[in-house]
A and B are shown apart, each in its own frame.
Chain A
Amino acid sequence: MSVPITSPQFKGNAKAALKDVQLQRALGKVESGFIGKRAQVAARLPEFEQLRDLARDIKDHTLAHLDLYLEAYEARVKESGGHVHWAATAEDARKIILDICKRLEAKTVTKGKSMIAEEIGLNAHLSEAGIVPIETDLGEYIIQLRDEAPSHIIAPAIHLNKEQIEADFRRVHTDLPPERNLDEPASLMAEARAVLREKFLAADVGITGANFLIAETGTSVIVTNEGNGDLTQTLPKAHVVLASIEKVVPTLEDVSTILRVLARSATGQEISVYTTFSTGPRRADDPDGPGEYHVVLLDNGRSSMLSGQFREMLRCIRCGACMNHCPVYGAVGGHAYGWVYPGPMGAVLTPSLIGVDKAGHLPNASTFCGRCEEVCPVRIPLPKLMRHWREREFERHLSPATVRTGLGFWAFFARRPRLYRWATQRAMRFLALFGGNRGRMHWLPFAGGWTRHRDFPIPERETFQVQWAKRKKAEAKAVAEADANARRAAEAAAKDKAEAAQ
């Protein structure tokens, strides 16, 4: 089962989100929880900007040789006793994972946080096959209770307030005594942990995502703040790593460079609480670890991004900074975007993965304020890439007819300065007359989108260019008059002189 897509209804989704009082209150956390902290921690590290350059360069280098690094990675994984499965599509990846689970007769699987699992709709697929997926990241656990999708790539339940979460816990954890205090995030966490501990022990397969795959060593790396990933991957019979192909980086050294910008950009931490490296299954003398180690490498459209205009998007390390700093995301939250990836990174990535015909609103619903690019740790030029999508839409005639007609009309004049001056002068005089002496209008025909929410200033009666031409003419006239006067005066003086001489 694939993930439902409501991106075509972005406008409706956004309107509903703006009216959702709970959501609006919860969105305040984006600012208080992320923006200031990132700014502080970045300011404390003098080489932060240099590290961003390095991170970008590492990713660019890897993408330029992606095939080589993936092959090297695969070889190292095999050497360490693990298995690598290549999945061209979401469907392939679902099938591979389900086959592993079935072979191991899995009844429950625990899951660390993985956006790729969201992308391929893994939970629904496992559930349909009678296997119970259990999210172990607190945020993911909460939204699983509510049967919702994540609204943020690193803080999946950011759209919820703690009262809502408490209510869900009481609804599902029926043995909770009513007097038990769930007021604080810590107590919610403790409650979730208590429930999850059982599940960790019972799980047959543990599935995690990966922040990095290291080609040099065949290692997968996850960063978390809860440590849930460690239990997910060490306790069950098999550990399945589900990652997209662009997660590979050449060396351990590269990972340590990128880690320095990742946590700072994401949560404003210097480093996440847990950074876990996994290489292969349990060895004979290891005290613990999974019996089997599998890596499912998902392409799902990414290799075709490699050769095109959107290649830079593959540098993304999923830190979430772009959405934290996005005014549109801050206004409507993540669900409005209508698929797995929200915010500026989603506005670029989603059309690549599900098609611009479905996700066309996303790259359009941006003010191009550039704050996302300003904070992106791997310097992805997100506005430029969104503009490329708009260009594709325009070329394919997917942009709305009103936009195209309006633009065509305007462009006709914009290319003809004299006609433009003539027409705009008339239009502005008309507007000025229409507006009268009020200074501004509360309503303007054909501009309802503007005047529904704000006033519109009444223009001056004449355009700048017309006024300027008049001023220049008046100046020239004044100069000519002054010249003429001077000439007359000189002539008169000469005449006087001549007369006096006689």
Chain B
Amino acid sequence: MAAETGSRPRVGLFVTCLVDLIRPKIGFASVKLLEDAGCDVEVPSQTCCGQPAFNSGDRRTTRAIAEKVIKTFEAYDYVVAPSGSCAGMIKLHYPELFAGEPEWLRRVDALCARTHELVSFLVDVMKVERVDLLYDGTVTYHDACSGLRELGIKAQPRKLLNSIAGLHIAEMKDADVCCGFGGTFCVKYPEVSNAIVEKKAQNIAATGALTLLAGDLGCLMNMAGKLQRLGKPVVARHVAELLAGMTNEPAIGEKPKVNGQ
């Protein structure tokens, strides 16, 4: 056992505050995917990556949070988050916070190099080629902005989804256009955010797919909430849930089924 453990990378799961609070299932799906890919997963005590403070212009708070994240996670071989937005925050923006502090920058850079978004980590680092699953249905995939533009995540989730027997991806129009979530934006400018997500919901519904997937819970809650408000028959899940074979669990905002399954 000891020898095997030694060869398995130790992954610190950065579960993200939204997943931690609203939809822990995604955390468990991530753990399963990482373990199946040959990682040992640990979940150190954690809070948030600091992005809400960062995007509100509060650098001092962001920096204090970033220090905590660095100290908590620097011991792991990899840090993996089921969110392009949080992984992007650490990877691209933490270095900015410590500009001019070589000692900290060394630590930050070391951490950034080992920080990844979940699906791209599975494909690009762990070289996962396929998932052995059956899924009879059509899905559509939204490219959440940070993952897409900060981390270049587009092909990886599609690669794994396409390896699933029976699954068909119906691409939506403007899959790479923002859903209007934008963190605090959606509550600061609710009408504008609503106009953007309304367009997105129409594009999703037009594909005919009954399941919407994406890699960021914030965007998913925004789109799911709008689809539900509009009465569209589409359910939304984090892509990790489907890849981990957890589609018998209730989708985002759906009622738990009575009598178990």
Contacts and interface: CB of A to CB of B under 8 A. Distances in A.
Interface stretch (B46-54, B73-81, B162-170): B46-54
B256 to A, nearest CB: 7
Could you tell me the dominant secondary structure of chain B's interface residues? helix
A14 B195 CA distance: 11
Contacts of B25: 460
Interface string A14-49: 110010000000000000000000000000000000
A417 B226 contact: no
Interface in A368-390: 368-371, 373-374, 387, 389-390
A463 interface: yes
A399 to B, nearest CB: 7
A362 to B, nearest CB: 11
B235 to A, nearest CB: 10
Interface string A399-411: 1000100010011
Interface in B225-261: 225-226, 228-229, 250, 252-256
Nearest to B230: A454
Contacts of A331: 192, 195-196
Nearest to A469: B43
Interface string B10-28: 0000010101111111011
Interface in B133-178: 145-146, 149-150, 176-178
A410 B52 CA distance: 9
Contact of B146 (A370, A395, A468): A370
Interface size class of A (residues with CB under 8 A): 35 or more
A391 interface: yes
Contacts of A394: 56-59
Interface stretch (B61-69, B104-112, B118-126, B205-213): B61-69
A118 B96 CA distance: 36
A454 B197 contact: yes
A428 B18 CA distance: 11
Interface string A457-486: 111101111011000000000000000000
A439 B20 contact: no
Contact of B253 (A330, A387, A455): A455
B95 interface: no
Contacts of A367: 145, 178, 180-183, 185, 193, 196
B71 to A, nearest CB: 11
Interface stretch (A99-107, A228-236, A445-453): A445-453
Interface of B: 15, 17, 19-25, 27-28, 43, 45-48, 50, 52-59, 61, 64-65, 68, 72, 145-146, 149-150, 176-178, 180-197, 221-222, 224-226, 228-229, 250, 252-256
12 contacts: A367-B178, A371-B176, A387-B55, A391-B59, A407-B52, A407-B56, A415-B64, A439-B250, A439-B256, A449-B187, A452-B194, A455-B224
Given A368-B145, A399-B56, A442-B229, 7 more contacts: A391-B58, A394-B58, A410-B53, A414-B17, A437-B255, A456-B225, A465-B46
